[in-house]
Amino acid sequence: MNQTMVGLKTHSINLYKKLRDDPEYPVGYHHGDGGIRLANTEEQMQGYRHFASMARGMGVEFEVIDAQECARRHPLISTDNLLGGVWDGEDGDIDPAQLCQALAFHARKAGADVYRHTNVTALTQHSDDTWTVETDKGSIDADIVVNACGYRVNEVGAMMGVHHPVTSMEHQYFVRYCRSRTPDAAATLSDQRLLFAAGKERSFGGVL
């Protein structure tokens, strides 16, 4: 965790609040349910203390808490081998499909055209620095190209001879579906060493 991530987080929260409160196209956003990053080594705890003090300098509060406090704040936590964690009181969750539609809605309102189901197949830069973007539905002239292709970013980067310092990670998702017995665990959980994250899946009341 670094200053860039704190800055991105602050920007995202402000944007998501605006979208949630937009009467024209409201988005389901639960802000402030909280989240815990767990630690089972003293080194991780030191890292969290360093991070919390750096974030405080940027006006963002994180709380370093011990194992008992972690368990008190999240009913699914066992304190076995746990030293503590860092609590992010601003953590929350947003409906990703609604978010995507809301961003497209506002982009269109601001004058953008959105072409769905259109693959970029080649990018050519001209001597005046403008671009031709080839797609499977025809070509588009552009002054600026932004490559925001997610885990395919390097496939599209290669079309302009650029390698981005980004790599894809493979994950597995485990869904705990037990509506009647899932404790009320709204906060998100993650463990950087064991590499897992868990959050409430609101569509069916379980844990993802």
- Enclosing H/E stretch for 49: helix 42-57
Alpha carbon distance 188, 87 (integer Å):
10
Span near ligand FAD by CB under 6 A; candidates 34-42, 45-53, 75-83, 150-158? 150-158
Q: φ, ψ for residue 87 (rounded to 5)?
A: -100, 130
Q: Cβ of residue 93: shortest distance to ligand FAD, in angstroms?
A: 6
173 vs 174, which CB is nearer to ligand FAD?
Answer: 173
55 vs 94, which CB is nearer to ligand FAD?
Answer: 94
Q: Which of 6, 39, 65, 120 binds ligand FAD (CB under 6 A)?
A: 120
Q: Cβ of residue 84: shortest distance to ligand FAD, in angstroms?
A: 23
Q: Cβ of residue 150: shortest distance to ligand FAD, in angstroms?
A: 2
Q: Cβ of residue 153: shortest distance to ligand FAD, in angstroms?
A: 7
Cα–Cα distances in angstroms (integers) from residue 11 to residues 5, 8, 67, 137, 190, in the given order: 10, 5, 30, 34, 21
Query: For 108, which DSSP code?
Result: H
- The closest of 67, 64, 55, 71 to 87, measured between CA atoms, is 64
Alpha carbon distance 124, 141 (integer Å):
10
Q: How many residues bind ligand FAD (CB under 6 A)?
A: 10
**156 part of the interface to ligand FAD, by CB under 6 A:** yes
Q: Which residues contact ligand FAD (rule: CB under 6 A)?
A: 119-120, 148-152, 156, 173, 199
